[in-house]
Chains A and B, each alone.
Chain A
Amino acid sequence: MPRTIDTDVVVIGGGAAGAHAALKVHAEGLKVLLIVKGFLGRSGCSIFAGNLQLVNTKVSAEEEEKWLTIRTKHMGGYLLEQDYVKRANRFTESEFYPEMERRGLYIRRNAEGKFIKSEGRGTNVWAPLQGYSGTFVMELLRKEILNKRIPLLQETMVTSLLLDEGKVVGVTLLDILRGEFIAVRAKAVIVATGPSNYLATRSTGTREQCANGFAMAYRAGAQMQDIEIQWWHCSDIAWPKAWTRLHIYPNPMPATKETVRLYNSEGEMFFEQGMYPLAMQPYFLQLKHLYPHVKRGKARWNGGYFAGYTHIDPSIMEQYSYQTQFLKALGLDLSKDLIECGISWHMTLGGIRTNTETMETSLPGLYAAGGVGSHGVGTITFVSYDGTLAAGGACARARAMQPPRLPEEQIAREEQRVMSPLKVRSGDGLLPAQVKKRIREIMWEKMGYVKSEAKMEEALGQLAEVREKLVPRIGLDSLSRTWNYDWVDALDVEDMLDICELTIHSAKVRQESRGAFFREDFPYIDNKNWLRHTVMSRDGNALRIETVPVELKYIRPESEREDFLSADY
């Protein structure tokens, strides 16, 4: 048996969901162990939360409905749980903002003390710059966790969930710095590994985000839901490659009614948020407008179209945007130059199937908080709510139970799997990172924004080829166990292949288009047949796919069937 750690609750993931979960379990007086593959508050996607929505749904029913519509329709294609959206909005206004301000968050104000807001509907704010808010939120959460000496393992990869009689009773992990395999016994596990994964050549997922959370849950038998629905960002910078995650926000901007405009290669303007005043987060709409220009050769998915602030007073970007320094470093003059853009694989709307009242998954003892769950969030305040909610459930469970038994046989098998990549590459060997690159290329080329049955079949074929021809060639440069990231990459390859394939199988089932999900062979929104979730689970080595209806409690689409490209959601 490897070394074992005992705790009450394990939290996996160092973003806002994981941080809130760890703080809550600690506040409840139980033992928590926070495990982060990268670094708390530094890796993951919470650091990218660029805008904060200053919701105030308590003031009126209209305000509540406005936010319900923005989230459910414009960000969720009607697949979200509507009561959850209402509760998360309430958490945002009554807990998130006061707690973060108490910790020292500074939402940018003017000299008179008024918030700098987006004009018009006036609900976006920034702490203290557009593009930096999440970084600041995470800094404060990180410091509080460190200051409270909450047990924390960083640069530590959770490799599997441990099961005893169908219940989750702990995790196994790999300490990347020391190369040690460890087993953790826990009464409950909260997985909070985020909505974004680095699964396509152009992605917003950070380096470490390789679908590990999805993979461990799926392998343990948890149900997955709607994982075919992938948000793409429409306006991320095209080059340099390192800056792929530099987002040009389409949302309302600070202190102006104007929003960023998109232009095709001939300089023709084709999108600005003002075209859809009700869609405050017009991510899906941007892509629909880009599509015909790509078709006509006036843009490419990875360049050849542009974002511009030329119609906006340059002092706005200068004063209120973190992104401006990057654009200036490229020598761009925002009063006259445009910024070349590309699309990037951003968030999975679905994920591990969650009960939105408790964040429980289909596996007893496993909770999913934040973007890794199936409830389609993508907002730092919502994932903070999830973390708090999941911790409540996990604590109640932990209090009611005795320390579980660890499954020694499963631990031994997993140790063998984790150690198996430790072999030196041969002459024609490949580093695992090279295989990761190939997987991302396949997903970029065949599983991009525009999907079709034929392209998805090709993607499955190419991924199978990776398994057959490239994976056996994987080897490491050295067998040293000290910070051997190639070893981590090798474990990532398995998770990426499994989850990419699962995503494609799920996408083949959904024979319609909706929100972020576009099938060129089914270019309509089918509200009659497809207001449904796809639900997938492992059945031995086979895949079981079912669909279940979406509950539409307060708002619902008007038509049974709509043309996808012209619909406003």
Chain B
Amino acid sequence: MTEPMIQVEGLRKSFGKRAAVDGVSFGVPAGSVMGLLGPNGAGKTTVINCLTTLLRPDAGRVSVAGFDVERDPAGVRASIALTGQFAAVDQLLTGRQNLVLFGRLLRMSRRAAGERATELLARFDLAESGDRGVREYSGGMRRRLDLAAALMVPRPVLVLDEPTTGLDPRSRHAMWRVVRELRSAGTTVLLTTQYLEEADRLADGIVVVARGKVIATGTPEELKGKVGVSVCEVRIDDERARRDALVVLLDRWPDVTEGDGSIVVPGGDARTLAEIVRRLTEAGVETDNVAIRRPSLDDAFFALTGHGALGHHDGSPAASNGRAGAGAGR
């Protein structure tokens, strides 16, 4: 089509001597979801801040909906909706008061803002709590209200900075559903995330950033493809049984590797899978799960950077889901 909805070319931004963003380029086609994926401190938020006119780029060109962030920041601001890393809503006001305030700041009449607030509260499952103080809201409810506030006036571009960080799985899925709905309504979405699963599930395209530079771009499938072929994953929680299995499998495939509670056998095809099961059964080793796994984005990141994955390995649902839930269907 024509020019991408968001165009970033050679963006640089330093704070003192530290280059937070060091020559980042990417484009987001209209109506698609782009995931900006990277660990903490990779420069994701700085890119967002330049793109939303909060920071002036040191070098490079950034345009949103055809407006240049430096020459026409007002045009950019009139084209975007931003929700940041925190729920930027007032605790002491009610959900409805928050929405009405933002609507009226965007030149809606009191009445129009009230009607739109009612509509969004219902859509974001907040109708019953709309007149309660936000301080009584759960984290997930606050994020939904925050997103609703950004959507008071529909904009062609929605920017989400880590929209689900710190949310429980249910709230995360609710957020994902909303992003998908917005996309099907034609909104162009740029979201940053450190969760591989999130980018994988939501994004049409992914830009992987690390230390201020783009280290890979592509569709989730392409990025996963860069890691190579599929593998078979044998999941055994019991450590002794796993060691027994490792001995059995090493006998047949010298290049098996031991993962976190699992053993990875190269060659993700049905015959390998069947042979693994047969050999382990013959040896009397019990397994928790054996599955063909396409490489996860976690693997992709590891392969791309050659070092540790995306931080937050511990509690991140992405990391654990990427491993445990990676069944044959992916």
A binds B: no
Interface of A with B (CB < 8 Å)?
A: none
